[in-house]
Amino acid sequence: MSGSLRTQPGDREGTRPLVPSQRRSTSRAQSDPIDELAENLGEFVSAAVHPDEVAALLESDGLSDDQIRERYGVTNSFALAEELFERVDRGYPEPEGPPHDPWRIGLLGCLLRGIVFALPGLGYVLAAPLLAGPKGAFGLPAGTVPMLAGALCGWTWNQGLAHRAYTWMGLGDRAAARRALLVGTPVGVLLGSLVAFAAAGSAGRGAVAFAAGQSGYLGAATVLLVMGRERTLLAALAPMTAGAAVTVFHPVPDPARVALLLGSLAAVALLGLLEVAPAVRDLGEGSWGAGILALLPYGKLRGGAEPSGRAGEPRAASAGRPDSEKPGAAPTRLGPVAARLRARRSAPRRNAGTVPYALFGLGSGVLVLYAALGDVLTGARTAVAAPAAVALTLSMGPAEWLLFRFRSGSLAGLRSSTSARSFRRATAGALVRCLAGYLAALLVLGLATSALWPHAPAAADGVRLGGLLLLGVVMWTGLLLQSFGAVTGTATVVCAAALAQTAALATHTGDAHWVGLIVYGAAAGAQTALVCARLGKATAHR
């Protein structure tokens, strides 16, 4: 809004403003000056969405109310703006070039993430001798109990940790995201290892060690995935992947299995540490030692402790005076590390919504485990890692891509719709297309894994297939609700479904597959209702 607002686009700087002036010609004097002004300002007025915009244009160009009354015969700039707004048709220009779409994402990258999610399952193939043993809880091999307990703990903790890191990255503070991962990842690894040890029971030390290593992998992989290092993680898993492929055709000695597992774990852990290491130097202003001390919440910081005045003087007596008046005349200045920590601790909490994300990770993890263990829990002698779990894990790649496609479609609908009803219709169409596409991909993956899995039950079983697809609806709509910011609702639904399925298992109520079908169907219906309630709200699609 610099310069004359009535200077037409393309005019040279200094061009005389096109303000109607006193005319000597009789024919010109008889014309309506407001029509002339509307013709001169037509481009600006047609693009305005409210008369106040036109009034702002007039006032910013120096037209006083006295001038407006004299020249145009109306009381003030607002009255003139309303006249102009009524006389000029609306015509909102389209932006040059294609509109910006922040939700565009490549399919290949999403498929790569799905593969990276599924590849760690090959570690269970290599670790089969460590997990073997007598029957434990729920008829499972004793070695699998600590592994499953540690996995649930890891999924819960890392889901919340990833949300916290993504929140900082969304605020443009990548260094703060690294700090959150640097502090949170070791805590999650320790917590997962302790949970696995507590659930060990009659499991051997090898099973507990594998569960601890699994916790370490989940933490380090979370760091790499949050920071966008999928290809790096894929390369680190290459030794384990190759070893698991060899075991399908040729027996591999136990020491070699352990070496392959430890090699991939060490590579992932080292890469994750290198990813967050810059956060330590940032905290210490380039010093590793000061950065490590800064991570300790109540430790003394080198050069950062606040002086308390001279020896023997109470801190309260010294704190209220200026530095120059304190005994000892030593200025009390915070060091750079202490100042940064004080600013961090006094800043408002931006991550109060982390707990629902962690609960969603717990609830969805329980549901996926029940889908994987359905045959075992019914007494069938089959592998623990059921094809359903593999299909669900692989489908997370297409699910992510289709989620972005839905957000892109809703943004296009927001631009093209002229009413709330048309916008809701556009978003509903995008939802149906994307959800149908995801279920089609999950169906293909489910049939393929069942056909390739040794001794797998028939995938054509309607109950099994229906349960898998309904669980897919729960997972995809849960991700969509998270992107809407409605994580509390989806966390409540999946946790309630997990509790219901657990209660049915504990009380031996019904067949596990039928119970799963009913629970997944109820959860899918509830979350679909939550999604539909937000489809027509433009603010949900930001």
Q: Give pLDDT, residue 322.
A: 37
| Rounded Cα distance, 100 and 434, in Å | 21
More confident site: 329 or 62: 62
Which amino acid, one-letter code, is at 412? A
Mean pLDDT, rounded, for 344-367 = 73
The CA-CA-CA angle for residues 240, 243, 249, to 5°, reads 150
Q: Is residue 261 part of a domain?
A: yes
Q: Is residue 341 part of a domain?
A: no
Tell me the three state secondary structure of residue 135: strand
Shared-domain flag, residues 165 and 267: yes
Write b or e for each residue in 488-501: b if 16 or more Cβ atoms lie within 10 A of its Cβ, otherwise e: ebbbbbbbebbebb
Shared-domain flag, residues 170 and 272: yes
Domain count across the chain: 3
Counting residues of the chain whose pLDDT is more than 70, the rounded percentage is 74
More confident site: 125 or 165: 165
More confident site: 270 or 386: 270
| Rounded Cα distance, 146 and 195, in Å | 8
Q: Is residue 343 part of a domain?
A: no
| Rounded Cα distance, 251 and 224, in Å | 32
The answer to which of 125-129, 374-378, 474-478, 530-534 has the lowest mean pLDDT is 374-378
Phi, psi values for residue 159, rounded to 5°: -65, -45
Could you tell me where the DSSP H helices lie in 171-287?
174-198, 205-226, 230-236, 238-249, 254-283
HSE-CB at 327 with a 13 A cutoff on CA atoms is 10
Shared-domain flag, residues 87 and 137: no
Q: Give the range of the structural domain holding residue 64, as residue numbers without chain letter.
A: 1-93
Q: Is residue 99 part of a domain?
A: no
Shared-domain flag, residues 77 and 141: no
* pLDDT at 324 exceeding the cut of 60: no
Q: Give pLDDT, residue 133.
A: 64
List 141's β-bridge partners, or say none: 135
Counting residues of the chain whose pLDDT is more than 90, the rounded percentage is 27
| Rounded Cα distance, 371 and 472, in Å | 11
Give the model confidence (pLDDT) of 95-115 as tens digits.
Answer: 666 677 777 888 888 888 888
Q: Is residue 536 part of a domain?
A: yes
* pLDDT at 472 exceeding the cut of 90: yes
| Rounded Cα distance, 399 and 402, in Å | 5
Shared-domain flag, residues 512 and 366: yes
CA torsion, ordered 305, 310, 316, 320, to nearest 10 deg: -90
Shared-domain flag, residues 47 and 124: no
Shared-domain flag, residues 381 and 239: no
Give the model confidence (pLDDT) of 401-459 as tens digits.
Answer: 999 999 888 888 888 877 888 888 889 999 999 999 999 999 999 888 888 776 665 55
Length of the chain: 542
Q: Give pLDDT, residue 421.
A: 86
Among 283, 313, 335, which residue terminates a domain?
Answer: 283
Among 69, 93, 117, which residue terminates a domain?
Answer: 93
Q: What is the pTM assigned to this prediction?
A: 0.71
* pLDDT at 384 exceeding the cut of 60: no
| Rounded Cα distance, 268 and 2, in Å | 55
| Rounded Cα distance, 219 and 221, in Å | 6
Give the model confidence (pLDDT) of 147-172 as tens digits.
Answer: 889 999 999 999 999 999 999 988 88
Tell me the three state secondary structure of residue 209: helix
Shared-domain flag, residues 85 and 122: no
Q: Is residue 308 part of a domain?
A: no
* Alpha-carbon 387 to chain mean position: 27
Give the model confidence (pLDDT) of 30-88 as tens digits.
Answer: 578 888 888 888 888 888 888 888 888 888 888 888 888 888 888 888 998 898 888 88
More confident site: 349 or 538: 538
List 334's β-bridge partners, or say none: none
| Rounded Cα distance, 166 and 177, in Å | 7
* pLDDT at 360 exceeding the cut of 80: yes
Q: Give pLDDT, residue 490.
A: 93
> Which DSSP category does 138 fall into?
G
Phi, psi values for residue 38, rounded to 5°: -65, -35
Q: Give pLDDT, residue 288.
A: 56
Share the mean pLDDT of the chain: 77
Shared-domain flag, residues 87 and 128: no
Shared-domain flag, residues 78 and 113: no
* pLDDT at 509 exceeding the cut of 60: yes
The greatest distance separating any two alpha carbons of the chain, rounded to the nearest whole angstrom, comes to 109
Q: Is residue 238 part of a domain?
A: yes
Give the model confidence (pLDDT) of 247-267 as tens digits.
Answer: 878 888 888 888 999 999 999
Among 93, 121, 142, which residue terminates a domain?
Answer: 93
Q: Is residue 61 part of a domain?
A: yes
Shared-domain flag, residues 77 and 5: yes
Residues 6+ apart with CB under 8 A from 330: 307, 323
Shared-domain flag, residues 1 and 147: no
Tell me the three state secondary structure of residue 295: coil
Q: Tokens 């402790």 identify what position?
A: 305
Q: Give pLDDT, residue 341.
A: 43
Pick the closest to residue 340 from 392, 279, 384 (CA basis): 279
